[in-house]
């Protein structure tokens, strides 16, 4: 790999947080995740607080067990704004 995936995931999470704040006026907590297909990842106590490093098959279970932090309305607002952002970006390509 020519890039550090942890740094990249953190940068992308920061970028997404900024996009959501600018478009919705609401500050969302964005949690960075790095997935490594085919790898077994051993986690130490407290190691998953700021960034998840997972095998892709583990992601659904982690999401399922994560505490709910957004209301359905917040999810709908973020989803709608991100959909519009993506469509606008596709038009510029």
pLDDT at 44: 64
What's the whole-model pTM score? 0.78
| pLDDT digits 0-9 by tens, 6-64 | 899 999 999 999 999 999 999 999 999 998 887 666 666 655 567 888 888 888 998 89
**Number of domains, the chain:** 1
Q: Which residues of 49-81 are buried (b: 16+ CB within 10 A; e: fewer)?
A: eeebbbeeeeeeeeeeeeeeeeeeeeeebbeeb
Residue 30 lies in domain? 5-92
Give the C-alpha separation, 66 to 64, whole Å: 6
């Amino acid at each position: 790999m020519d890039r550090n995936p942890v740094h990249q995931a953190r940068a992308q999470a920061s970028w997404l947080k900024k996009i959501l704040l600018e478009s919705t006026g609401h500050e969302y907590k964005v949690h960075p995740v790095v997935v490594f297909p085919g790898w077994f990842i051993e986690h130490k106590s407290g190691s998953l607080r700021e960034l998840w490093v997972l095998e892709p098959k583990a992601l659904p279970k982690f999401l399922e067990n994560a505490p709910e932090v957004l209301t359905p309305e917040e999810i709908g607002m973020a989803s709608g704004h991100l959909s519009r952002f993506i469509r606008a970006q596709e038009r510029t390509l």
